[in-house]
C-alpha cells in the first residue's frame, strides 16, 4: 500500500525544504505515548515527564493518537523555510471550526468522549487545543528546540545541495527507503492508498526528528508535504560538541578545532553556536580565522551564510577529500 503522487516538471521545479517547530512538538506527543518506539529520545522523555503533571493534555492526546491519523489542522505545512512557533500557533488558532470538526471525526483509537466534546463546539475546542500546545511548548519543548533546530538545519542544507547537484533523482534516492522516485511518480510507502497529482503549489519536504523513523504525507486541501526522517538523529541528545583531537587543538586551538570538525556538514553561525555552546560572536570570530586560513568558506543561501570545510580543512580534520 502506498501514496502515489504524479509530479509534473513544474512541481519538481517547485520542490522546497522547510522545517516546523509545531510538527516536532506534535510528533513528540506520540513519543510520550510510545516511548519504546523511539527509545532514542529517552533522555528528553526523562527530562520532561515530571513537568507533565501540571498540564492538561487530554484533548491534545485525543486528537494525536499513538498511531494512525492525527488531526491535520494541528500541523499546518510550513509556509516559510524557517517558521517560528508563535506564527505556527497563530495558524492553528485560525483554523476553520468546520474543518477542525471534520478532521476530529476521522481520528480513531482515542477517548471518544473527549473527541465528542471537541466536535460539539469546535471553535472552543480549537482555542483549548492551541492553549494546551502553547503550554506544552513552554514547559517541555522550548528549551530543547535550539538543539533540534540545529539538527534539522544541517539536514536541509545537505539535501538542498543534493537537489542542486543531482536533481530530484539523487535527492529522492537518498531521502528514505520508503520513498521511490520513478522520474514521473513519487511512491511513498504508507499504510493507506492514495493516487493523484499535486495541486499546483509544488512540494514541501520537511525533515523530522520526533517522527523518525517514519515518513508522513499531507495533501489537499493543504500544501502537499512529505515528512521524512532527519539524518543524524542519533547525535541529537549527545552532550557537547565533538571532541577535538589533541594535536589539532594544539595547532589551531580547541574551539576552532571543534568548529572545524563540526563543519563536516555545512552549518550557519547560529547553528554552530548552539552546538558548541559558544556565543554567535565568538563562533563568527573563529570562522573568520578558519576562512582566512583557507580551512573554511562561507556561501550565501537565501538570507543566511552557510559555512563548510574546504579541501584543506578536510585534510587537516582527517576527513577524506
Which residues in the chain land under pLDDT 50?
320-321
CA-only gyration radius of the chain, Å: 21
Distance of CA 12 to the CA centre of its chain: 21
Task: Indicate the pTM of the whole model.
Answer: 0.75
Amino acid 199: pLDDT: 65
For the chain, percent of residues with pLDDT exceeding 70: 93
pLDDT tens digit string along 48-65? 999 898 899 999 999 999
Amino acid 91: pLDDT: 93
The length of the chain is 321
164, 299 in Cβ contact below 8 A? no
Supply 108's cell numbers: 480513531
92, 130 in Cβ contact below 8 A? yes
Please choose, from the candidates 229, 280, 234, 230, the residue with its C-alpha nearest in 3D space to the C-alpha of residue 259.
Answer: 280
For the chain, percent of residues with pLDDT exceeding 90: 30
Distance of CA 153 to the CA centre of its chain: 8
Residue 22 — φ and ψ, nearest 5°? -65, -40
Alpha-carbon distance of 114 to 122, in angstroms, equals 12
Q: Which residues contact residue 98 at a Cβ distance below 8 angstroms, ignoring those fewer than 6 apart?
A: 122
SS (H, E, C) the chain: CEEEEECCHHHHHCEEECCCHHHHHHHHHHHHHCHHHHHHHHHHHHHHHHHHHHCCCHHHHHHCCCCCCCCHHHCCCCCCCCCCHHHHHHHHHCCCHHHHHHHHCCCCCCCHHHHHHHHHCHHHHHHHHHHHHHHHHHHHHHHHHHHHHHHHHHHHHHHHHHHHHHHHHHHHHCCCCCEEECCCEEEEECCCCEEEECCCCCEEEEEECCCCCCCEEECCCCCCEEEEECCCHHHCCCCCCCCCCHHHHHHHCHHHHHHHHHCCCCEEHHHHHHHHCCCHHHHHHHHHHHHHCCCEEEEEECCEEEEEECHHHHHHHCCCC
Amino acid 251: pLDDT: 84
Amino acid at each position: 500500500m502506498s501514496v502515489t503522487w504524479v509530479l509534473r516538471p513544474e512541481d519538481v521545479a517547485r520542490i522546497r525544504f522547510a522545517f516546523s517547530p509545531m510538527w516536532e512538538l506534535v510528533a513528540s506527543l506520540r513519543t510520550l505515548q510510545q516511548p519504546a518506539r523511539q527509545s532514542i529520545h529517552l533522555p528528553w522523555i526523562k527530562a520532561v515527564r515530571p513537568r507533565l503533571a501540571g498540564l492538561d493534555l487530554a484533548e491534545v492526546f485525543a486528537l494525536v493518537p499513538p498511531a494512525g491519523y492525527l488531526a491535520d489542522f494541528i500541523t499546518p505545512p510550513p509556509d516559510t523555510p524557517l517558521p517560528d512557533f508563535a506564527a505556527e500557533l497563530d495558524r492553528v488558532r485560525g483554523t476553520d471550526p468546520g474543518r477542525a470538526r471534520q478532521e476530529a471525526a476521522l481520528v480513531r483509537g482515542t477517548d471518544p468522549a473527549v473527541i465528542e466534546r471537541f466536535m460539539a463546539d469546535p471553535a472552543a475546542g480549537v482555542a483549548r487545543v492551541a492553549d494546551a500546545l502553547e503550554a506544552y511548548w513552554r514547559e517541555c519543548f522550548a528549551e530543547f528546540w535550539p538543539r533540534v533546530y540545529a539538527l534539522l538545519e544541517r539536514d536541509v542544507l545537505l539535501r538542498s545541495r543534493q537537489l542542486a547537484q543531482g536533481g530530484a533523482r539523487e535527492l529522492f534516492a537518498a531521502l528514505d527507503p520508503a520513498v521511490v522516485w520513478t522520474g514521473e511518480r513519487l511512491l511513498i510507502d504508507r499504510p493507506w492508498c492514495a493516487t493523484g497529482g499535486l495541486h499546483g503549489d509544488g512540494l514541501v519536504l520537511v525533515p523530522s526528528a520526533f517522527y523518525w523513523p517514519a515518513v508522513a504525507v499531507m495533501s489537499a486541501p493543504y500544501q502537499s508535504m512529505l515528512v521524512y526522517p532527519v539524518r543524524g538523529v542519533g547525535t541529537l541528545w549527545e552532550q557537547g560538541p565533538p571532541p577535538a583531537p589533541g594535536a589539532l587543538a594544539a595547532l589551531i586551538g580547541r574551539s576552532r578545532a571543534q568548529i572545524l570538525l563540526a563543519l563536516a556538514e555545512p552549518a550557519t553561525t547560529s547553528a554552530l553556536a548552539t552546538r558548541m555552546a559558544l556565543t554567535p560572536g565568538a563562533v563568527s570570530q573563529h570562522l573568520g580565522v578558519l576562512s582566512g586560513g583557507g580551512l573554511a568558506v562561507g556561501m550565501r543561501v537565501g538570507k543566511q551564510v552557510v559555512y563548510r570545510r574546504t579541501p584543506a580543512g578536510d585534510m587537516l580534520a582527517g576527513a577524506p577529500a
